[in-house]
Amino acid sequence: MAGDTLWQRLRGWLTSEHAGAIATPAPRNATTGSTRVADSLRSLLGDPTIPASVRSELATDFGRIEHMLDKLERGELHIAVFGRVSTGKSALGNALLGHEAFAVGVLHGTTTDAAHARLDEAQHDGLVLIDTPGINELDGEAREQLAFEVAEVSDLVIFVCDGDLTREELDALKTLAATQRPLLLALNKADRYGRDELSSLLEHLRLRASGLVRAEDVLAVAADPAAQRVIELDAHGRERAHEQARPPDVAALRERLLAIAAREGKTLSAINAGLYAGRLTDQVSARIAQTRQAVAANLIRHYCIAKGVAVALNPIPVADLLAAAGLDAAMVVQLSRVYGLPLTRAESGRLVAVISAQLAALMGAIWSMQLVASALKGVSAGLSVVVTAAAQGALGWYATVLIGRAAERYLIAGKSWGEAGAKRAVAEIVASLDRDSILREAREELLRRLKSHRA
Ligand SMILES: Nc1nc2c(ncn2[C@@H]2O[C@H](COP(=O)(O)OP(=O)(O)O)[C@@H](O)[C@H]2O)c(=O)[nH]1
Ligand SMILES: [Mg+2]
């Protein structure tokens, strides 16, 4: 069987009647889930409020998601080879692909950081082979990370070994098995063993891998058998030795791949679909949420300072609160953009009014103090004015933190206060924040600014 027919046959299985529902497209919600994440990423990448460093980090994720969505559309089958250095992973990849795509006999060196480990990829007619660096040099955690990463980008993993399993190999096998990917254990370099030796080693491997790999999925291959020394008699009857190259023997593995495609066909296609709606999109969604929260936190702080200074400096006491409300509404307009749910100025104003009403009900005492302080400001002179102004500005600051956080919560929930309503949501925000430390920080920051303003 030529290498290039493998995928055609696998695909034949996947789309044939044997496979039933296999050929049906990915579950709709899975695809739209990943498309949504891709869209969200795309808009963040173009968002100037996101710091450039974060954008470039997201660009990597975006590249991966696009690649994966692409793969989903094309219906490729990704097979990864995994194992220790020099077990013949690259050679096996070549043998399955039917051409020399990966360098054989090249040590990947001392890759100790799985995050930088390179996954090589080569394809032929929709069959994509993923070659991985060896796991020898990696510590337990990095090995696990690499295993997850490999499982994530493949539909099926072939674990390659060339003898009994070491402790590390068994651990890696367990990690891979836990990812629920179809898993094969290939004992490579079969040409090195005698027939009996080989079958007892296979038996032993089946035992050690039991519970992780099915017995029938543990098999022997020779990806790149050593040249054979052949002795021939020449015309003069003299013995002549010469080296004769031998072709790879991976027929048993091919047969198993076909059988697995039949057995796991459904799973394979579901994995294809679920992969990106699953772990990766969760991760990326979490990162997007983090990024938005960081940007929002910056924004809120920016408005806290602006409002604190405005309140502290405003010479007309009663106007303080009006100026403050205007700033809060402007902040909420910007926050709504960060969360991708833009509000108009009028909507923001109404939202601020709702939140302020809840805050006033909750903290009437503080707010009336602010009014008193506001009224007092400008009466006395000297440094105490600055101190009073800073204290009052700090209250304005604190109010902005609360309004910002409450608006943020409303936006994160998709413009909703949830079942418990605005009152409960605002009360929870107030309870979750350390008022005294916010006021202290605000006072210090405002005093610093007011003093330099006066100087
Ligand atoms: N005897 C024998 N040697 C093999 C076989 N497969 C690979 N090798 C040799 O093992 C060495 C490592 O192979 P390679 O594919 O680079 O291993 P990798 O580090 O796992 O990618 C090379 O020298 C190969 O020629 C095989 O089936 N039989
Ligand atoms: Mg290699």
Please give the full DSSP string across 99-134, using - where no structure is assigned.
S--S-SS--------GGG---EEEEETTEEEEE---
The average pLDDT across 289-302 equals 89
Q: Which ligand is nearest to the CA of 162?
A: 1
Q: Worst-scoring range by mean pLDDT, 21-35, 92-106, 261-275?
A: 21-35
The average pLDDT across 14-22 equals 36
Res 198: pLDDT: 97
* Interval between CA 87 and ligand 2 midpoint (Å): 8
Q: With 50 as the cut, is the pLDDT of residue 17 above it?
A: no
pLDDT in tens, 312-329: 877 555 455 656 678 899
pLDDT in tens, 192-233: 999 999 999 999 999 999 999 999 999 999 999 999 888 888
- Name the more confident of 309 and 174: 174
The average pLDDT across 145-163 equals 87
Q: With 60 as the cut, is the pLDDT of residue 358 above it?
A: yes
* Interval between CA 141 and ligand 1 midpoint (Å): 26
- The rounded mean pLDDT for the chain is 77
pLDDT in tens, 71-89: 656 666 788 999 998 999 9
Q: Worst-scoring range by mean pLDDT, 24-28, 107-111, 308-312, 369-373?
A: 24-28
* Interval between CA 199 and ligand 2 midpoint (Å): 26
Q: Worst-scoring range by mean pLDDT, 173-177, 234-238, 383-387?
A: 383-387
Distance CA 348, CA 373 (A): 27
Q: Which ligand is nearest to the CA of 223?
A: 1
Distance CA 273, CA 40 (A): 19
Q: Which ligand is nearest to the CA of 87?
A: 1
Degrees, nearest 5: CA angle 259-67-160: 40
Residue 154 phi, psi (nearest 5): -125, 155
Atom of ligand 1 nearest to the CA of 107: 19
Distance CA 95, CA 245 (A): 14
Res 244: pLDDT: 85
Dihedral sign (CA 92, 253, 217, 124)? positive
pLDDT in tens, 172-183: 999 999 988 889
Res 308: pLDDT: 86
Res 327: pLDDT: 86
The average pLDDT across 256-271 equals 64
Q: Worst-scoring range by mean pLDDT, 125-129, 152-156, 390-394, 420-424?
A: 125-129
H helices within 4-51, ranges in order? 5-15, 28-45
Q: With 80 as the cut, is the pLDDT of residue 301 above it?
A: yes
Domain 5-284: which CATH class? alpha beta
Dihedral sign (CA 131, 133, 136, 139)? negative
Distance CA 101, CA 78 (A): 15
Please answer whether residues 386 and 454 qualify as being in contact, where contact means their C-beta atoms are separated by less than 8 angstroms: yes
Q: With 70 as the cut, is the pLDDT of residue 379 above it?
A: no
Res 71: pLDDT: 62
Res 14: pLDDT: 41
Percent of the chain surpassing pLDDT 90: 32
- The DSSP result for 151-203, as a single string, is HHH-SEEEEEESSSPPHHHHHHHHHHHHTT--EEEEE--GGGS-HHHHHHHHH
Percent of the chain surpassing pLDDT 70: 69
What residues pack around ion ligand 2 (CB closer than 5 A)?
90
Which residue's C-alpha comes closest to atom 14 of ligand 1?
88
Atom of ligand 1 nearest to the CA of 85: 19
- Name the more confident of 382 and 354: 354
Please answer whether residues 75 and 11 qualify as being in contact, where contact means their C-beta atoms are separated by less than 8 angstroms: yes
Closest CA to 202 of 252, 263, 251: 252
Polymer length of the chain:
455
Res 185: pLDDT: 97
Res 302: pLDDT: 92
Residue 321 identity: L
- pLDDT category at 335 given cuts 50, 70, 90 is very high
375-387 as b/e: b if 16+ CB within 10 A: eebeeeeeeebbe
- pLDDT category at 41 given cuts 50, 70, 90 is low
- Name the more confident of 122 and 415: 415
pLDDT in tens, 111-145: 444 444 466 777 666 678 888 888 877 788 888 88
Atom of ligand 1 nearest to the CA of 87: 20
Atom of ligand 1 nearest to the CA of 104: 16
Pocket of ligand 1 (CB under 6 A): 85-91, 104-106, 134, 188-189, 191-192, 222-226
Domain-by-domain residue ranges, the chain? 5-284, 314-454
